[in-house]
Copies of this chain bind each other. A is one copy, B any other.
Amino acid sequence: MFKTIITPRIGDTDAMRHITNTSLPVWFETARNDLFEIFTPSHELTYKQWKLILVHMDFNFIKQTYFGYDVEIRTYVSKIGKTSFTVTHEAWQNGQLRTNGTATMIYFDFIKQQSNVIPKDIRNQLKNHYISPEELDEKNKNEMKKNKRVKEIDYVESDL
Give A contacts to B, CB under 8 Å.
7, 9-11, 13-17, 20-23, 25-26, 29-30, 32-33, 36, 42-50, 53-61, 64, 67-69, 110-111, 113, 153, 155-156, 158-160
Using Cβ atoms and an 8 Å threshold, which residues of chain B touch A155? 15, 44-46
Query: Closest Cβ of chain B: how far from A2's Cβ, in Å?
Result: 12
Copies of this protein, total: 4
User: Is B61 in contact with A58, judged by CB distance below 8 angstroms?
Assistant: no
User: Is A16 in contact with B29, judged by CB distance below 8 angstroms?
Assistant: no
Using Cβ atoms and an 8 Å threshold, which residues of chain B touch A47? 16, 156, 159-160
Say whether, besides A9-B30, A10-B36, A15-B10, A22 and B20 are in contact (CB < 8 Å).
no
